[in-house]
Amino acid sequence: MILDFITTIRKNHALEHATVSVLMRKLRPGARLMGRSTADGFYIYGDAPHEAVSEAAEEALGRLKQGEGNLAVSPFCGTNLAVAAILAGLASMLAMRGEKEANRLPNVLLATLAAVVIAQPIGRIAQKYLTTSADVADVDIAEVTSTRKGTHTRHKIRTLRG
């Protein structure tokens, strides 16, 4: 049961990334979008027309189903930040061990920088194998709704697995 729940979120996360990727190519340069996955779909936050979001979600789902799994991995995903933070923290702790106080700051800075650099490919790997699943053959889009409060627009893409 819990594995099915996690699998559903991973599939929705992949579709969220793919939808944002498709949208970014269609909207004006510099458009700001953010997504968040849930068990029943995902949200897209940002100033994008309802029709554009709906079309992008359908296109993204079709492209994932056709094998474009690369759309499931995003350079802007929070997974990348989490991996970078964990590696930077561990690198900092290791760099402080056994060093004289005068050497600690340069060692911590160098170790943290190295950790952030290597976190980029590791974050993508973590997305591919842990936080997303491009296997969306059993996913369908049930509906897309949009709500606006002031200057903020929220789009809810509700998915079904079947």
pLDDT confidence bin for 84, thresholds 50/70/90: very high
Minimum mean pLDDT range among 11-20, 75-84, 103-112, 152-161: 103-112
| 14 and 33 within one domain | yes
Please give the tally of structural domains in the chain: 2
Average pLDDT of the segment spanning 34-55: 97
| 91 and 61 within one domain | no
| 114 and 56 within one domain | no
| 66 and 18 within one domain | yes
| 137 and 67 within one domain | yes
d(CA 55, CA 22): 9
pLDDT of residue 100: 76
Any idea which residue has 């979008």 for tokens?
33
Give residue-wise pLDDT tens across range 96-112: 887 677 778 889 999 99
Question: Tell me, what CATH number does 48's domain have?
Answer: 3.30.980.10
* Backbone region of residue 46 per phi and psi (left: phi > 0; alpha: psi in -120 to 50; beta: other values): left
pLDDT of residue 35: 97
| 86 and 147 within one domain | no
Q: Is the pTM of this model over 0.85?
A: yes
| 86 and 15 within one domain | no
| 59 and 86 within one domain | no
| 84 and 28 within one domain | no
| 57 and 15 within one domain | yes
| 62 and 42 within one domain | yes
pLDDT of residue 99: 67
Tokens of 4: 């099915």
Direct distance between the N- and C-terminal alpha carbons of the chain, in angstroms, rounded to an integer: 15
Give residue-wise pLDDT tens across range 9-40: 999 999 999 999 999 999 988 889 999 999 99
d(CA 62, CA 10): 17
Range of the domain at 58: 2-72+133-161
Tokens of 7: 């699998």
| 64 and 99 within one domain | no
d(CA 51, CA 35): 17
pLDDT of residue 47: 87
